[in-house]
Amino acid sequence: MASLIELCNRALANIAKGEIASLNEATPESKQCVRFAQPLLNEMIAWSDNMPLGRRRVVLAELVNDRPSEWLYAYAKPSDMETPLAIRRQDDPATCLPEGGPYNFPLQDGQALRFMLEGDKLYSNVATATLIYTANSLQASELGGLMQEAFVNELSVRISMPLTKDPKVKQALIPLARESRGNAIAHEENKMPQRQVTYVSEAELARMGML
């Protein structure tokens, strides 16, 4: 996977600027890359709420429960968490699972296990809970090919005015950045499993041969 400085140099090439060897250089190109690159990476996590980019999974650390009349368990919020997405409980290893049909995969997705985030604590009635969440920061090495392209094109837009002082350059880059962003988001969203609706009618089940 490409490093952050490699992606920055691709963005600089888009605006006809020379390469940098380090983000610590005392050059205008390096300073603008430092100014915009990492914030843009972190922002990309929020481009869609239905893509795997920036997702993390961790077994939560249990804390003393200060709300025992409301919840059974209290957990520490992960230090790098931006948005909590779902709670998973620990089940015994499965011995038989459906290969397809009107189900969520994994099956726990259809149960919507409840939790509440308040301050630095996450409350739930699930013992030894695992949290799925989006992180608040991203590394360049996590980007796939289309996301790399989207990052490069968007970074080109952001550094173009400070480095070229030419609004025509920026305006020419915006459509390309918009298109590559849309393509990258669609590609990432297609990696996510499709969620089943809560209710499936008996007629639909019969058509599938499941009744």
pLDDT in tens, 160-191: 999 999 999 999 999 999 999 999 999 999 98
| Mean pLDDT in residue range 81-87 | 92
The per-type count for the chain, helices as H runs and strands as E runs, is 5, 7
| Mean pLDDT in residue range 87-96 | 82
Q: How confident is residue 112, by pLDDT bands cut at 50, 70 and 90?
A: confident
**Phi, psi (degrees; rounded to nearest 5) at 149:** -60, -45
In a domain, 41, yes or no: yes
Number of domains present in the structure of the chain: 2
In a domain, 72, yes or no: yes
Same domain, 125 and 160: no
In a domain, 17, yes or no: yes
In a domain, 197, yes or no: no
Residues spanned by the domain of 9: 4-48+145-189
pLDDT of amino acid 50: 87
CA–CA gap between residue 156 and residue 160 (Å, rounded) = 6
Token digits for 72? 């059974």
In a domain, 202, yes or no: no
DSSP E strands in 70-129: the ranges are 73-76, 81-88, 115-118, 121-124
pLDDT of amino acid 133: 94
Q: What percent of the chain has pLDDT over 90?
A: 75
Same domain, 44 and 60: no
* pTM of the full structure: 0.79
Same domain, 62 and 43: no
pLDDT of amino acid 49: 83
Same domain, 60 and 133: yes
Residue-averaged pLDDT of the chain: 89
> Does the pLDDT of residue 79 top 60, yes or no?
yes
In a domain, 199, yes or no: no
In a domain, 200, yes or no: no
> Does the pLDDT of residue 206 top 70, yes or no?
no
Among left, alpha and beta (phi > 0; psi -120 to 50; other), residue 159 is alpha
